[in-house]
């Protein structure tokens, strides 16, 4: 069995991908998009690509739209991910959320199914075959088992499935290894079914536990397969290693997904181009025919005009240079002096026939001329359409951007003060709990706007009053004060050891609420303002938020905002249009609410590695 280019994840690949996606458990679904190649799930701690090639974490954000994903977004937006699993060793993966299940079938035909209470409520396309039916309203059933379930099978059962006379074929067809893993297993374990079964079970167990060696095998410069283990025996010119399996999948499948997205985006235009090309080919064939027929008619008419008298004499029975060859019905075939035979009608005067021939020739020449004009216009249209198709494909390619692997602090509101001290804040009540429980040390500072419904903001100890003001301003911005349109608010702060979830006797603290015991320090009249900007780190663009004074440290371009009446999504789209690379979704996530722009600025941001070092000291 020769190594061939992989076009879809094998069950082992999917098992590795599930091991990585399990890190998303507890994340909230923030959005669902349709992309040219499939779906893109945006969770609070990562992105998931769902295409006919793979289901995995991804660092690639393609061109995407909400159209076509409205139902899925309504079903799952805001829901938390409970579990990611493979029901058995096959190309099927399930996302279990509080609001239902999302099942992805990479088996043919590729499908995505939303399930609630055991029944299908949405699916990519309906399907009937092989003993099951998929359509809205029916109970969901998994595809029929294609392989031995290596997740539960004993080594003896695996061994029995391996045919000693056809090792590789039985590995592929009965155990779902795929040709690349089959090659590797036979090379590693030899021809013994027992040894192969033990090696296969060991590989499955390692991958299932997350012990991965992500690799891409290339041959003559072309990636031919991607695996979660390092192949030692495949015929590769180079084996490229990756830190994460999803990064290897991005490298391998990204170009295939981009090609599919470009083809789908230009599909209508391509169909118009095919119709145009067919019409142009038809005209190019027809024009010479029209010209030729017109030429033949003119030539015949000229000869008939030249010998008109002789023809009339011959028709009258007189001896002439023109001879009557044959008479049948209303037609007469005559032979002209040059030997050419022409058929004329007996019941129409010869002069009128000659005139009709000249008229018909002119008519055909007119048709040919109009066809040539149409051909020229269609060729210009084809050239324009071809350019449009290239523009569409380029737009799809250019829309793809890389997403960096997120550092731990990026899942929160985060910033850096002018003195380069790290600051984080909760995005919601749940994150407020996490910030206090995990990141608020006894000697750290706890900031909170003096109003219910605000982000808990935490920083290491700060002595500089200006930096305390900046942390307080960050807390003021991400509070209800912004949505209420307030221009200033008091912010208090206290040491971490003063903050507790222990409520006074007889009282109850809601999720995300805390008690602060002892003396609170106040920063009075904090201006409710925030800088939001964009920075580029290599090929990765990031949206950042900061107090106005420290914005130049973090952003290349930024705006200083205050509460206003420009809706968050609209402002995000406007800013995304100005800041090439930063997405409107990420900008919107950084905006505290409806805003107005006070000023614009440019900065010289510190390197991203330095930002990470600042937070590493937490």
Domain assignment present for residue 243? The answer is no
pTM over 0.75: no
Write out pLDDT tens, residues 387-410. Answer: 888 888 877 777 666 665 678 899
Residue 392: the pLDDT is 82
Non-local (6+) Cβ contacts of 30 within 8 A are: 42, 43, 44, 77, 589
The mean of the pLDDT values for the chain is 92
Q: Tell me how far the alpha carbon of residue 252 is from its chain's centroid.
A: 14
Task: Report whether the peptide linkage leading into residue 17 is cis, meaning its omega lies within 30 degrees of zero.
Answer: no
From residue 157, give the alpha-carbon distance in Å to each of 60, 176, 467. Answer: 40, 14, 66
Domain assignment present for residue 453? The answer is yes
Residue 62 C-beta-side C-alpha neighbours within 13 Å: 34
Cα(99)–Cα(118) distance, integer angstroms:
12
Cα(280)–Cα(502) distance, integer angstroms:
81
**Which of 209, 231, 247 corresponds to the end of one domain?**
209
CATH of the domain at 370: 1.10.287
How is residue 497 annotated by DSSP? G
Cα(59)–Cα(364) distance, integer angstroms:
62
Quick one: 390 and 285 in the same domain? yes
Domain assignment present for residue 332? The answer is yes
Residue 115: the pLDDT is 97
Write out pLDDT tens, residues 159-201. Answer: 999 999 999 999 999 999 999 999 999 999 999 999 999 999 9
The answer to whether the beta carbons of residues 90 and 147 sit under 8 Å apart is: yes
Q: Average pLDDT, stretch 353-364?
A: 96
Residue 352, Cβ neighbours under 10 Å: how many? 10
Residue 446: the pLDDT is 97
Helix H, strand E, coil C: the string for 69-105 is CHHHHHHHCCCEEEEEECCCCCCEEEEEECCEEEEEE
Q: Average pLDDT, stretch 156-160?
A: 96
Domain assignment present for residue 42? The answer is yes
Non-local (6+) Cβ contacts of 192 within 8 A are: none
DSSP string, 115-175: EETTEEEEESS-EEETTEEE-TTSBP-PPPP-S--TTT--HHHHHHHS-TTSHHHHHHHHH
List, in sequence order, every residue forming a beta bridge with 28; answer none if it has no partner.
80
The counts of H helices and E strands in the chain are: 17, 32
Write out pLDDT tens, residues 474-497. Answer: 999 999 999 999 999 999 999 999
**Which of 193, 209, 225 corresponds to the end of one domain?**
209
Quick one: 480 and 533 in the same domain? yes
Quick one: 450 and 597 in the same domain? yes
Non-local (6+) Cβ contacts of 308 within 8 A are: 350, 351, 354
How is residue 510 annotated by DSSP? P
Token pair in block for residue 246: 């999803």
Residue 319: the pLDDT is 81
Residue 587 pLDDT greater than 60, yes or no: yes
CATH of the domain at 58: 2.30.310.10
DSSP string, 327-396: EETTEEEEE-TTS-EEEEESSS-HHHHHHHHHHHHHHHHHHHHHHHHHHHHHHHHHHHHHHHHHHHHHHH
How many domains would you assign to the chain? 3
Quick one: 122 and 43 in the same domain? yes
Residue 555, Cβ neighbours under 10 Å: how many? 27
Residue 353: the pLDDT is 94
Domain assignment present for residue 601? The answer is yes
Q: Which of 536, 528, 533 is closest to 480 using CA atoms?
A: 528
Q: Is 538 helix (H, G, I), strand (E, B) or coil?
A: coil
Find the helix packing angle between 11-21 and 245-265, rounded to 10°.
Answer: 110
Question: Which residue in this structure is represented by tokens 């929160």?
Answer: 412
Q: Is 504 helix (H, G, I), strand (E, B) or coil?
A: coil
Residue 61, Cβ neighbours under 10 Å: how many? 21
Percent pLDDT > 70 in the chain is 97
Quick one: 157 and 177 in the same domain? yes
Q: 68: domain range? A: 1-209
Non-local (6+) Cβ contacts of 594 within 8 A are: 483, 563, 564, 565, 566, 567, 568
Cα(75)–Cα(64) distance, integer angstroms:
19
The pairing of beta strand 530-537 with beta strand 557-566 = antiparallel
Quick one: 66 and 179 in the same domain? yes
Token pair in block for residue 393: 């494909």
Q: What is the CA radius of gyration of the chain?
A: 37
Quick one: 428 and 448 in the same domain? yes
Quick one: 192 and 287 in the same domain? no
Residue 235 pLDDT greater than 60, yes or no: yes
Q: Average pLDDT, stretch 275-304?
A: 94
Write out pLDDT tens, residues 494-514. Answer: 999 999 877 776 676 676 678
How is residue 66 annotated by DSSP? S
The answer to whether the beta carbons of residues 134 and 140 sit under 8 Å apart is: yes
Quick one: 144 and 3 in the same domain? yes
**Which of 352, 371, 399 corresponds to the end of one domain?**
399
Domain assignment present for residue 7? The answer is yes
Domain assignment present for residue 139? The answer is yes
223-227 CB contacts, 8 Å cutoff, 24+ apart: 223/5, 223/251, 223/252, 224/3, 224/4, 224/5, 224/6, 225/3, 225/5, 225/6, 225/180, 225/252, 226/6, 226/13, 226/251, 226/252, 226/253, 227/12, 227/13, 227/180, 227/181, 227/184
Quick one: 153 and 286 in the same domain? no
Domain assignment present for residue 246? The answer is no
Q: Average pLDDT, stretch 26-51?
A: 92
How is residue 438 annotated by DSSP? I
Q: What is the side-by-side order of every strand in the sheet holding 457-459?
A: 413-416, 422-425, 457-459, 445-449, 488-495, 521-527
List, in sequence order, every residue forming a beta bridge with 413; answer none if it has no partner.
425
Quick one: 369 and 415 in the same domain? no
The answer to whether the beta carbons of residues 435 and 456 sit under 8 Å apart is: yes
Q: Average pLDDT, stretch 582-587?
A: 88
Q: Average pLDDT, stretch 281-299?
A: 95
The answer to whether the beta carbons of residues 535 and 544 sit under 8 Å apart is: yes
Residue 1: the pLDDT is 36
Quick one: 276 and 370 in the same domain? yes
């Amino acid at each position: 069995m020769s190594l061939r280019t992989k076009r879809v994840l094998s069950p082992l690949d999917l098992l590795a991908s599930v091991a990585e996606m399990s890190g998303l458990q507890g994340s909230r679904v923030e959005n669902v998009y349709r992309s040219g190649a499939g779906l893109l799930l945006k969770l609070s701690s990562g992105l998931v690509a769902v295409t006919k090639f793979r289901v995995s974490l991804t660092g690639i954000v393609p061109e995407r739209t909400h159209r076509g994903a409205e139902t899925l977004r309504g079903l799952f937006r805001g829901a938390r991910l409970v579990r990611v699993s493979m029901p058995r060793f096959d190309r099927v993966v399930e996302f279990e959320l509080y609001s239902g299940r999302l099942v992805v079938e990479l088996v043919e035909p590729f499908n995505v199914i939303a399930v609630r209470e055991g029944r299908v409520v949405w699916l990519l396309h309906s399907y009937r075959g092989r003993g099951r039916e998929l359509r809205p309203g029916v109970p969901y059933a998994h595809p029929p088992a294609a392989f031995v379930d290596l997740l539960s099978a004993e080594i003896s059962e695996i061994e029995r499935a391996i045919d000693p006379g056809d090792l590789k074929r039985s590995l592929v067809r009965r155990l779902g290894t795929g040709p690349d893993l089959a090659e590797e297993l036979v090379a590693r374990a030899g021809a013994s079914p027992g040894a192969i079964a033990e090696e296969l079970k060991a590989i499955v167990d390692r991958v299932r536990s997350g012990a991965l060696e992500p690799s891409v095998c290339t041959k003559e410069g072309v990636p031919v397969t991607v695996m979660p283990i390092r192949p030692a025996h495949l015929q590769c010119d180079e084996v490229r290693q990756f830190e994460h399996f999803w990064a290897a999948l991005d490298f391998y499948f990204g170009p295939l997904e981009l090609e599919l997205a470009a083809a789908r985006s230009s599909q209508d235009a391509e169909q118009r181009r095919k119709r145009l090309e067919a019409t142009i080919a038809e005209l190019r064939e027809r024009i010479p025919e029209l010209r030729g027929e017109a030429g033949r008619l003119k030539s015949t008419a000229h000869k008939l005009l030249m010998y008109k008298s002789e023809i009339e004499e011959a028709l009258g029975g007189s001896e002439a240079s023109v001879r009557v060859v044959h008479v049948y019905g209303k037609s007469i075939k005559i032979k002209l002096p040059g030997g050419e035979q022409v058929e004329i009608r007996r019941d129409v005067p010869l002069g009128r026939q000659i005139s009709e021939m000249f008229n018909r020739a002119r008519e055909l020449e007119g048709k040919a001329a109009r066809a040539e004009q149409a051909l020229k216009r269609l060729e210009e249209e084809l050239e324009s359409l071809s350019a449009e198709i290239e523009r569409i494909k380029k737009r799809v390619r250019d829309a793809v951007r890389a997403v960096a692997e997120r550092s731990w602090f990026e899942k929160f509101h985060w910033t850096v003060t002018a003195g380069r001290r790290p600051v984080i804040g909760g995005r919601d009540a749940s994150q407020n709990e996490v910030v206090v429980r995990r990141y608020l040390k006894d000697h750290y500072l706890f900031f909170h706007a003096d109003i219910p419904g605000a982000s808990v903001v935490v920083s290491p100890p700060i002595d500089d009053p200006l930096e305390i003001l900046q942390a307080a301003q960050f807390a003021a911005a991400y509070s209800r004060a912004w949505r209420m349109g307030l221009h200033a608010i008091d912010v208090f702060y206290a040491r971490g050891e003063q903050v507790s979830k222990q409520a006074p006797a007889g009282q109850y603290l809601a999720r995300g609420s805390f008690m602060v015991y002892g003396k609170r320090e106040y920063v009075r009249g904090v201006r409710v303002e925030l800088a939001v900007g964009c920075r580029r780190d290599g090929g990765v663009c990031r949206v950042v938020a900061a107090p106005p004074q420290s914005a130049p440290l973090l952003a290349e371009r930024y705006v200083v905002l205050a509460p206003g009446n420009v809706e968050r999504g609209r402002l995000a789209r406007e800013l995304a249009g100005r800041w090439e690379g930063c997405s409107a979704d990420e900008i919107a996530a950084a905006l505290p609410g409806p805003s107005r722009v006070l000023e614009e600025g440019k900065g010289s941001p510190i390197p991203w590695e330095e930002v990470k070092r600042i937070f590493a000291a937490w």
